[in-house]
Structure 1
């Protein structure tokens, strides 16, 4: 019987994993350089965790089931809710800010298409507590630096602040359910629907024009001034505008100013409260957004303290798509790698001993235990970025030596076995 992988999933071969590990490790090194530490949550959680966050309608989009004890569980469709649950269970009394990152697979039951799979990966970061303005600026600067280190080209960073538009809606006493519909229509760029909802809420033309002016801001830091006079009588919106202005100033202090101020970013989720941002790679077409995030209050879903969080998640698979689309290459590491070759099969035991000597010194080492011809072993070493080949024959076994061939220089020397590690490490 033939078995194939489930629909919407993928197999990753050796070369695929080299690329994915390179990208993953580059992101890890970047976020760790900013003081973030890794956490890990379960692949499945209580179903109620996700319905509480996103409503019962999400059941149609996720994998959920009952276990043998009759408990309703779900494979996680994203990781933000799990991180908030982890905080509620374990970290409420920890010193703030908490700077955490996570990497793992998520699952959604949706129609597979280009750039969308039923099993996919997210790499996310969260800052809980601390000073929001500096958290937000650091998060945005860090996302930008990550893409620079990966050498992703032609990406666009758009930054907004939901507090500006929400301030207007609160000023007009628009009910929360209608605000949700308004934000969703802005997120979908359905401006006919937006006008219809505003009309239903008895919003007059003056305030319609203010809302339109806000969501039309799509330019530089200085373009915030174009709406300042419109918001003078709306204190909540003015406060959000000044906060965004401060955030952008701090972002620029991190050395990043190549962004767009885009106040139509809405993210479409109720829990976002402040700054929001998205990053696009236009070459990816309909799936161009590779990350998005902002500031939110999700811990209030639980009985924990009401504390703001700032975070984002890279769509890891979309980053990989950009990596391939732009024909980027994995940077070869500078690790010492060795292939140990016994010239004849009777020297295999000696080859194993030499290999273990090298491995104990943290030198990546492979052994030819099949008995291939020397030419094929050298070809294998070249194609696998192996720096050195150690040859063991009758004379080497008798003398307690090894013959070391440096693949770059093609030089070959015979040295005492106990000098092999130092010779390779000092190369």
Structure 2
């Protein structure tokens, strides 16, 4: 290996040089100002977690960077702010009052085999509210868009769906369980070739997009009332931001139990996502729902 290769960073990592570092600092300060003014407090968890914490996370273990220290303990690079926040809440529950509102700015690390141009270090700016209500969730989303409008990102829009909505929509067609799981997997992986093949086999008479077919069919299902309330308040709050219902919206992790959102630019590039989650109760015994959105600063900084 020549010197140049020896000095290169591993695939998927990067330096923030000069102008980009200064830009990150400006954006970080702007983000903090917005959320501090909304009563949020900064949360900055350790970069290192015990690998055992991944047992309580829904991030796949094969995406987590783990290593062994000199004492033989298995450790991991922070893979997700939400799991670190849940760990902190469990350890400090007697000192926490709810609703708890926090924001964070920093990196998470995810392993992708061979990287294939995908970053393994992801700079995230995010905010979460634990034990809040719908109005608190909407206020968080408004703060996110207030920040984004100052970044120069063009054509902002938001897609919304409901956790389990797609599964209920497909279940109304009385599909075999195996076919249902295959469709959900294809959508989650954005494998549109496989999705088209499955749709053609399962709905041979359709003459339109799969989701148009499902939504216009006799077995189409409605949102739950609380989701209708969320969607109405969101549209009334984001006056000049298009809000679209997207039944195909499936996020990376399976801990959502209510509204899910994804934020796009004019080119339909995803720049942030999140929603309401309930895994705190199931995995940590914390009887509260959470709601959070994390923005991908790699995109905004042009990394």
Q: Name the TM-score class by shorter chain.
A: 0.7 to 0.9
Q: Flag the 1:180–1:121 CA change in 2: closer, same or farther, 3 A.
A: farther
Alignment-derived partner of residue 228 in structure 2: 245
Alignment-derived partner of residue 98 in structure 2: 96
Provide the secondary structure at the position in 1 that maps to 2:165.
helix
Alignment-derived partner of residue 39 in structure 2: 35
Is 1:136–1:275's contact at 8 Å kept on the other side of the alignment?
no
User: Using the alignment, how far apart are the partners of 1:264 and 1:5 within structure 2?
Assistant: 39
- The one of 67, 70, 73 equivalent to 2:72 is 70
Alignment-derived partner of residue 273 in structure 2: 292
Alignment-derived partner of residue 211 in structure 2: 212
State the shift of 1:181 in Å. Answer: 4.9
- 1:290-318: CA deviations, max 9, x gaps? 11111112213534134211111111111
Is 2:257–2:277's contact at 8 Å kept on the other side of the alignment?
yes
Correspondence 1:162 to 2:166: no
- The one of 292, 297, 302 equivalent to 1:311 is 292
User: Using the alignment, how far apart are the partners of 1:268 and 1:17 within structure 2?
Assistant: 28
Q: Flag the 1:180–1:68 CA change in 2: closer, same or farther, 3 A.
A: farther
Provide the secondary structure at the position in 2 that maps to 1:9.
coil
Q: Comparing both chains, which one has the higher relative contact order based on Cα–Cα distances under 8 Å and sequence gaps of 6 or more? A: 2
Report 1:291-370 matches (<5 A).
291-321=272-302
User: Using the alignment, how far apart are the partners of 1:73 and 1:174 within structure 2?
Assistant: 42
Can you give the 5+ residue segments of structure 1 that lack an aligned partner in the other structure?
217-225, 232-236, 323-427
User: Using the alignment, how far apart are the partners of 2:156 and 2:99 within structure 1?
Assistant: 29
Report 1:378-389 matches (<5 A).
none
User: Using the alignment, how far apart are the partners of 2:9 and 2:22 within structure 1?
Assistant: 23
Alignment-derived partner of residue 144 in structure 1: 145
Is 1:101–1:125's contact at 8 Å kept on the other side of the alignment?
yes
TM-score under structure 1 length normalisation: 0.59
- 1:290-347: CA deviations, max 9, x gaps? 111111122135341342111111111111129xxxxxxxxxxxxxxxxxxxxxxxxx
User: Using the alignment, how far apart are the partners of 2:175 and 2:93 within structure 1?
Assistant: 36
User: Using the alignment, how far apart are the partners of 2:178 and 2:98 within structure 1?
Assistant: 33
State the shift of 1:78 in Å. Answer: 2.4
**Number of corresponding residues:** 294
Alignment-derived partner of residue 52 in structure 2: 48
In terms of Rg, which structure is larger? 1
Can you give the 5+ residue segments of structure 2 that lack an aligned partner in the other structure?
none
Is 2:86–2:284's contact at 8 Å kept on the other side of the alignment?
no
User: Using the alignment, how far apart are the partners of 1:73 and 1:63 within structure 2?
Assistant: 8
Is 1:137–1:251's contact at 8 Å kept on the other side of the alignment?
yes
Alignment-derived partner of residue 27 in structure 2: 23
Provide the secondary structure at the position in 1 that maps to 2:229.
helix
Alignment-derived partner of residue 82 in structure 1: 84
Is 2:102–2:127's contact at 8 Å kept on the other side of the alignment?
yes
TM-score under structure 2 length normalisation: 0.80
Provide the secondary structure at the position in 2 that maps to 1:121.
strand
Segment drifting more, 83-92 vs 22-31: 83-92
Q: Flag the 1:169–1:316 CA change in 2: closer, same or farther, 3 A.
A: same
Segment drifting more, 119-128 vs 6-15: 6-15
State the shift of 1:70 in Å. Answer: 2.0
User: Using the alignment, how far apart are the partners of 2:96 and 2:222 within structure 1?
Assistant: 33
Is 1:277–1:294's contact at 8 Å kept on the other side of the alignment?
yes
Provide the secondary structure at the position in 2 that maps to 1:16.
helix
Q: Flag the 1:172–1:152 CA change in 2: closer, same or farther, 3 A.
A: closer
Is 2:183–2:198's contact at 8 Å kept on the other side of the alignment?
yes
Provide the secondary structure at the position in 2 that maps to 1:154.
coil
Judging by fraction of residues, say which structure has more helix: 1
User: Using the alignment, how far apart are the partners of 2:175 and 2:74 within structure 1?
Assistant: 36
State the shift of 1:16 in Å. Answer: 2.5
Q: Flag the 1:238–1:92 CA change in 2: closer, same or farther, 3 A.
A: farther
State the shift of 1:36 in Å. Answer: 1.4
Q: Flag the 1:145–1:215 CA change in 2: closer, same or farther, 3 A.
A: farther
Segment drifting more, 180-189 vs 43-52: 180-189
Provide the secondary structure at the position in 2 that maps to 1:291.
strand
- The one of 254, 257, 260 equivalent to 1:270 is 254
